Amino acid sequence: MFCERCAPLTRTLMVDPAAEPRAELMSGSCIWDDEIHREWCIQCVWKAREVFQLRFQITVGEQVPPEAMAFFLALERQFPTWPFFRPERHSPEIAEQVRRLVHRNTRQACIDLERMEREYRRRFGSSADAE
């Protein structure tokens, strides 16, 4: 999944006991800060978002195609120390917490975007509507 440059970076990621889950809005999932490497290339960032979404689906009990589950397990064998695969981060016990976190943050982002759009239209009026 990761390119030749990003795979070794991923293997350096260590569990941070203080890391807390947060919503990752681009994938509609939940991540912990110790699961990402700031130096990943953009292609690997996008691929990682797909894997975060897959983990979210597994965690909350959504239907996952067998080939996606096989990919998830193969990736775990390839990167066994990646904090992403910590059992407590995809266990059914946290399903409701993760679902609520993602829902709440997605809803808040939509509210914030609507507020910003209203403010933009208020400031720039009909010229913004013409665009």
Task: Say if residues 102 and 28 touch (Cβ distance below 8 Å).
Answer: yes
Residue 1 falls within a domain, yes or no?
Answer: no
| Window from 6-10, 69-73, 113-117 with minimum mean pLDDT | 113-117
Which DSSP symbol is given to 34? G
Segments forming the whole domain that contains residue 71: 6-130
Residue 53 falls within a domain, yes or no?
Answer: yes
Residue 62 falls within a domain, yes or no?
Answer: yes
The count of structural domains within the chain is 1
| DSSP result, 59-92 | HHT----HHHHHHHHHHHHHSTT-GGG-GGGS-G
Q: What is the pLDDT of residue 127?
A: 56
Q: What is the pLDDT of residue 130?
A: 52
Residue 77 falls within a domain, yes or no?
Answer: yes
* Tokens 């096989």, residue located: 70
Residue 99 falls within a domain, yes or no?
Answer: yes
Q: 0.95 cut: is pTM over it?
A: no
